[in-house]
Amino acid sequence: MANRPIITLLTDFGWGDGYIGAMKGVILGINPDCRIVDLAHKIAPHDVIGAALVLGQTYPYYPAGTIHVAVVDPGVGGTRRPLVLEGGGYIFVGPDNGCFTLILKREQAVRTYELTEERFRLPRVSQTFHGRDIFAPAAAHLSLGVSAEAMGPAVDIAELTRLTIPEPLLNGAILLGEVIRVDSFGNLVTNISQEILGEFAGDNMIELEIKGERVTGLKQSYDEGGEGEIIALWGSAGFLEIAIKEKNLHRERGWGKGEQVRIRRKT
């Protein structure tokens, strides 16, 4: 592991309540030499799918050995288990609630352990803030070279919680997708990947319909199209996005997660 290991933090805490600062204080109190990176803190409250998508699209851009801490944890204090995972050259720390779904899907030979060893927690553990009391200290000890195995008993990965991220459906000549996330710019991220659309449409032009409005073809960038025009394009994570030029589509139209997206081939 690097001399100054990296710990990233992904939460739905926002910046107004000091929760992120408390986690950083715990980490630095245990390992003042580590580097802490804010991955994202404005995930919608309790949006575990959003956390899984953001973690899945960002973690591989970090150096091997990076410790990724994900705390979007609506079940805090309940029966879900606190975990540490090793896979793909990275370490992941967080609750067993599905936030590691894409890690489990993409990485081979993932090893998982439950965070039960009290010596790697704070002396007093709150029922409502495991980010500070369990996950932050575990990450800090891991950054000092403590092995994941030392954190607690192994967990069979078949037992881990996986989210059901909706898959697009083929209904005759129509590909049915849906919006699975709204990003901070109000762009609508769908569950339609480049591979799926390529299989459906080939080289044909497409027409996309959402809430009765139709969009023909795909743009190359957010800058294309006229003012107020709704456009479709590929986002950086490889999913089809729907946006409005220089505006917030979610705010302008009120569209959000779960909206159906219909795609037809134009021949």
User: 94 with 71: CB under 8 angstroms?
Assistant: yes
Quickly count helices (H) and strands (E) in the chain: 7, 14
Fold of 6-159: Rossmann fold (3.40.50)
Q: What is the CATH number of domain 169-266?
A: 2.40.30.90
Long-range contacts of 211-218 (CB under 8 A, 24+ apart): 211/253, 211/255, 211/259, 215/242, 216/266
* Domains of the chain, residue spans: 6-159, 169-266
- Per-residue pLDDT, 109: 92
H or E element at residue 101: helix 101-106
pLDDT band for position 2 (cuts 50, 70, 90)? very low
Give the SS3 label for residue 216: strand
Token pair in block for residue 220:
């190359």
User: 45 with 26: CB under 8 angstroms?
Assistant: no
- The pLDDT tens digits of the residues spanning 12-23 come to 999 999 999 999
For residue 98, the tally of other CB atoms under 10 A from its CB is 20
Residue 257 CB partners (closer than 8 Å, separation 6+): 179, 180, 181, 182
Question: How many Cα neighbours within 13 Å face the side chain of 219?
Answer: 18
User: 13 with 20: CB under 8 angstroms?
Assistant: yes
- Per-residue pLDDT, 166: 87
Q: What is the pTM of this model?
A: 0.88
Mean pLDDT of the chain: 94
Is a pLDDT exceeding 50 seen at residue 1? no
- Per-residue pLDDT, 210: 96
DSSP secondary structure string, 23-45? Answer: HHHHHHHH-TTSEEEEEES-PPT
- The pLDDT tens digits of the residues spanning 197-226 come to 999 998 889 999 999 999 999 999 988 888
Q: What is the rounded distance in angstroms from the CA atom of residue 247 to the CA atom of residue 44?
A: 19
Residue 13: which of 53, 44, 35, 36 has the closest Cα?
44
Residue 20: which of 2, 4, 8, 3 has the closest Cα?
8
- The pLDDT tens digits of the residues spanning 105-142 come to 999 999 999 999 999 999 999 999 999 999 999 999 99
Residue 199: which of 231, 175, 233 has the closest Cα?
175
- Per-residue pLDDT, 28: 98
Token pair in block for residue 250:
């979610």
